[in-house]
Homo-oligomer: A and B are copies of this chain.
């Protein structure tokens, strides 16, 4: 198999990219100059070297290899509220929440969601790491609330149920509030078209 085909195959593994668009990427690269290709190639090869996983929240962050820091800028920010911990599925969820400038607590990146009937949750999400973090935060006596902020897809809901079952004992014993994101109408919604579940939530959470 030649380089065009091999590269097409690699690009078609990118999320949301089919074989046709993947081929277009290759032709696009062929039309760029050598500097572009070299720079892109270099960025890809140095990606893992330049990026670390935060030992505290497990998100990817740019690392400085001169120092031994393995804690991201959010987790090491003294101005953030260390009494609240928000659990999200993935890095892009974290980014979207950060962008809103409405949350000042800490995060934990689960690294995925839990399929229904999954026998080994540990293989799909960082449940062991989460429990450890909660336990250590608790011991330092600073944890007042854990927000489970998984999505409302079927797998997201399943993950939420699993997290609740795992976190409830520690939450009750230590009076840590265990909360879920509010549910109800989202921007632009028309009452005429919303589903039963969302109407129920909107009624229950009326204020």
Contacts and interface: CB of A to CB of B under 8 A. Distances in A.
Contacts of A20: 92
Contacts of A39: 10
B47 A3 contact: yes
B198 A93 contact: no
Given A34-B48, A60-B30, A196-B99, A205 B207 contact: yes
Interface of A: 2-4, 6-7, 10, 13-16, 20-21, 23-30, 34, 36-48, 50-51, 60, 62, 88-93, 95-97, 99-100, 102-103, 147, 149-153, 156, 179-207
12 contacts: A2-B62, A10-B40, A23-B95, A27-B90, A37-B44, A96-B192, A152-B190, A179-B207, A186-B186, A187-B195, A187-B197, A187-B198
A3 to B, nearest CB: 4
A62 B3 CA distance: 7
Nearest to A150: B191
B152 A188 contact: yes
A183 B199 contact: no
Nearest to A16: B21
B192 A43 contact: no
B180 A182 contact: no
Contact of A203 (B93, B103, B184, B187): B103
